[in-house]
Every structure is written in structure tokens, then in C-alpha cells.
Amino acid sequence: MKKYEYTEKKDTRSGFGAGIAELGRSNPNVVALTADLAGSLKLDTFIKENPERFVQCGIAEANMIGVSAGLTIGGHIPFATTFANFATGRVYDQIRQSVAYSNKNVKICASHAGLTLGEDGATHQILEDLGMMKMLPNMTVINPCDYNQTKAATLAIADHVGPVYLRFGRPVIPVFTPADQKFEIGKAWTVNEGKDVSIFCTGHLVWEAIKAGEILAEEGIEADIINIHTIKPLDEEAILASVKKTGCAVSAEEHMINGGLGDSVAQVLARNYPAPLEYIGVHDTFGESATPDQLMQKYGLTADKIVEQVKKAIARK
């Protein structure tokens, strides 16, 4: 098992903040909008350096999406920012009609996604957003795994022409990917090569998959760990190549199992190469108020649970 070490922990939303600040200096077409959450979305540096390219929309998310769509007509690249629950569930109609349907170059950047929002509870813990957004034609969906990958993804989506949903989070997690990485939309990253099981992971669950891989290695099980940071377009080639090698798979995500990464992987396997697949994710339920660690434990989004599912998948080969 390849060894991954880290010297610090940072929140992925700060990776977004660093990325958009850099874009503010390098790309004069980038505009930042927010719905009363500039601080939470780490926009302070961008606003300080580019006050004329910042739009405070207030608590009016639907209007923010409409304004963003309009800005693209003039050649601007709007980054519309708010919490993931408000960025998708509250404004889905506006995204569908004004952004996806007309293929507008809007970047919807959503923080505080999933259970790790923590104490704010179920009303704010969106677990359906990846499924909602990947179903929209023209929409690219990205869920990076740490601070550095989130920053790299933020820079990459500015160069991508078309609607993008970029999902990131609130908790501090290990920074384990390279600071100088080049983010390639739609191209999975092989975290570790193995021959016994494929683990397809995304977002905060990538680090948990790495920890699971270390546990499995001690038991003589070699895991092929693949970071699927781009949910759509999905790297089907990487998925099939891995499962043809290992013969079984586990998906791991901080999202509802229905409609998430595991759902996409299952479709690829069903169409091309049927193989045992087990899931790590939330099972058809809302979240609740607790600390991020408590919630990850309760809902089974942990390394030890990944290990359990790996053994189930291998037993089904």
C-alpha cells in the first residue's frame, strides 16, 4: 500500500477560496457572487482585491442563479457560491431552466455539503445534490478530496466552458494531494494500485479509503483505490480497467447511495462488466445534528466500514 502522509489539515472550502483568489488575479472575466455567505465561502481575499467583480445577492439564491446566467451573456465567468443545500435543492428549477438547458457558463460552487456540515442538522445536510446535478444535461459535477485538489479544481473549471457544480465541505481534513497538481476534469486518479478489490471513492471518503487500504494491506488484501473526483463526466475507462483487474468493487461517498457515485459505478458495471459491488454511503435517510466525526461514525462513512464492505465484495467473487 502506497504511503500517504500529511503535515496539516485544512477545509476544502478554503481550497476553493485560495483558488478563486488566484483566478481573481489571473482572469479578469471571473466574477464572484454569493447569497449572504461571503465569509463561509472564503471569498474575503477575492472581494478585497476585486470589489468591482463581486456581487452580494443577499438571501436570494434563485436570483443569484438568474444573475449568474445573465452575466455569461456578456462574457463573464460567474462563480455562484452558497451552501450546497441552497445551491441545489432550493434553486433546482432556476439551474435547470436558466443554466443547464441553455448551457450557460455558470460555476455553481457549493460548500457545507453532506453530513460533515455537522451541528446545523438535517435541514442543511444535503445528501442528494450529486444525484440532482448529474442528471442535468450539460452539467459537469466535481467533488474534490482535499484542500489542494479543491484549489486545483477551482482553477480548472474556469477554463472549462459550460455549467459546473463544484462540491466541497466545512471540516478540516488531511491535505495529502500535491500542491502543484494539474486537475483534469473527467480523469480519475489512481491513489493506490492493487489486485484484489477496487475502491471507488470521492470527496471526504478518499482519505477514509486510504486508511482502509492500509488496514487491508496488513491482512494481505491489495486494494486498487481510485479517486473519482469528477462524478460527471465519469471516467468509465478507469472504472472498467480496475474492476477487470480485481473482479469486485466498493464505492465510498458522503452522499445518499441512491443517485450518487455508487449508482453511477453500478450502471457502468451493469452495462459493460457485471461484478460484485458494495456501497458506503447514506441509506435512504436524512442526517441529524452532531459533530462531523459522530455523524461519519453513526452513518458508517469510515475506514473500518469500508474494510467490512471490501470483505463482502471479495466473498461474492
Per-run averaged pLDDT (10 residues), the chain, 317 residues:
94 98 98 97 98 97 98 97 97 98 98 95 96 98 98 98 97 96 97 98 98 98 98 98 98 97 98 98 97 97 98 98
pLDDT at 70: 98
Q: Exactly one of 52, 61, 184, 237 is catalytic; which is it? A: 61
Q: What are the C-alpha distances in Å from 27 to residues 192, 258, 308?
A: 35, 38, 46
Q: What are the C-alpha distances in Å from 230 to residues 82, 157, 253, 261?
A: 20, 11, 12, 9
22 is catalytic: no
Beta bridge partners of 108: 80, 165
Q: Catalogue all structural domains in the chain, each as residue range(s) with its CATH number.
A: 8-175 (3.40.50.970), 189-311 (3.40.50.920)
pLDDT at 209: 98
Residue type, 219: E
Q: Are 183 and 155 in contact (CB under 8 A)?
A: yes
Cα-flanking dihedrals φ and ψ of residue 123, to 5°?
-65, -25
Residue type, 113: A
pLDDT at 55: 98
pLDDT at 222: 98
Q: Are 168 and 12 in contact (CB under 8 A)?
A: yes
Q: How far apart are alpha carbons 147 and 137 in whole angstroms?
A: 28
pTM listed for this prediction: 0.97
Beta bridge partners of 33: 55, 80
pLDDT at 226: 98
* Residue 22 CB coordination number (10 Å): 17
**SS3 sequence of 21-82:** HHHHHHCCCEEEEECCCCCCCCCHHHHHHCHHHEEECCCCHHHHHHHHHHHHHCCCEEEEEE
